[in-house]
Chain A
Amino acid sequence: EVQLLESGGGLVQPGGSLRLSCAASGFTFSSYAMSWVRQAPGKGLEWVSGISTSGGSTYYADSVKGRFTISRDNSNKWLFLQMNSLRAEDTAVYYCAKGAGSSSSNCFDCWGQGTLVTVSS
């Protein structure tokens, strides 16, 4: 069974940092592009960042470029999102999402349960 399990969310002050992790299982992790997608309370879905199968290419939404860094560990089947200089508008549930194919640009056929990030003083 394909599974994604996020961790690392929590309450952080504006300007602070958090590192989200996503443990993958049940599929050949290194064969799929991965992304982070977030959803602010009561709002729609927003793609945040994506990474190619090898990790050699990364992509970001303008709203997080320069503050967030996506990475992956294919040996141990982990996806990460390092979030710096956090702002109140980054408050959201963050989902780890598996690409529906190897292409970096893709839809997502498996999602984690989400981890809540709250940025507040």
Chain B
Amino acid sequence: DIQMTQSPSSVSASVGDRVTITCRASQVISDWLGWYQQKPGKAPKLLIYPASTLQSGVPSRFSGGGFGTDFTLTISSLQPEDFATYYCQQANSFPLTFGGGTKVEIK
């Protein structure tokens, strides 16, 4: 199985800050990597897939990068609505696997 390791597990940041989350796959997955945002009590929302393609309607302050095993999600200027938990997921092979999540909290 492909293990997905996210870091950090949590980050405290202020509105306007630049935040970067990393995700590492235990084996090469090309660019078959997605990023989700989840708010409490809500279903996850797909932000980016594959690795650097912004989904329709997602603000341009979100960007993704990487290829192979190492990936990043960057929020260029954090907005109040961005405080949430973010997950990466590999779509290269079954079983599909998620990272452990990164909680972005208000500083």
Where the two chains meet, the residues of A that have a C-beta atom closer than 8 Å to any C-beta of B are 35, 44-47, 50, 59-62, 95, 100, 103-109, 111-114
Contact between chains at A35 and B96 (CB < 8 Å): yes
- B92 contacts the other chain (Cβ, under 8 Å)? yes
Chain B: minimal CB distance from A112 (Å) = 7
B43: contacting residue among A47, A50, A113, CB under 8 A: A113
Contact between chains at B92 and A105 (CB < 8 Å): yes
Contact between chains at A107 and B94 (CB < 8 Å): no
Tell me whether A47 and B46 are in contact in the complex, defined as CB-CB below 8 angstroms, given that A105-B32, A105-B93, A109-B55 are known contacts: no
- Considering the complex, which residues of chain B in the window 14-31 have a beta carbon less than 8 Å from any beta carbon of chain A? none
Q: How far is the CA of A59 from the CA of B50 in the complex (A)?
A: 21
Contact between chains at A109 and B49 (CB < 8 Å): yes
Contact between chains at A61 and B95 (CB < 8 Å): yes
Tell me whether A108 and B46 are in contact in the complex, defined as CB-CB below 8 angstroms, given that A44-B87, A45-B87 are known contacts: yes
* Chain B residues within 8 Å of chain A by Cβ, number: 25
Q: A47-B96, A59-B94 given. 10 additional CB < 8 A pairs?
A: A45-B38, A45-B98, A50-B94, A59-B95, A60-B95, A62-B1, A95-B44, A100-B49, A104-B94, A109-B49
In the bound complex, residues from chain A placing their C-beta under 8 Å from that of B44 are 45, 95, 108, 111
- Can you name 7 A-B pairs with beta carbons within 8 Å? A44-B100, A44-B101, A45-B87, A47-B98, A105-B96, A109-B46, A114-B43
- Considering the complex, which residues of chain B in the window 75-96 have a beta carbon less than 8 Å from any beta carbon of chain A? 87, 89, 91-96
In the bound complex, residues from chain B placing their C-beta under 8 Å from that of A106 are 91
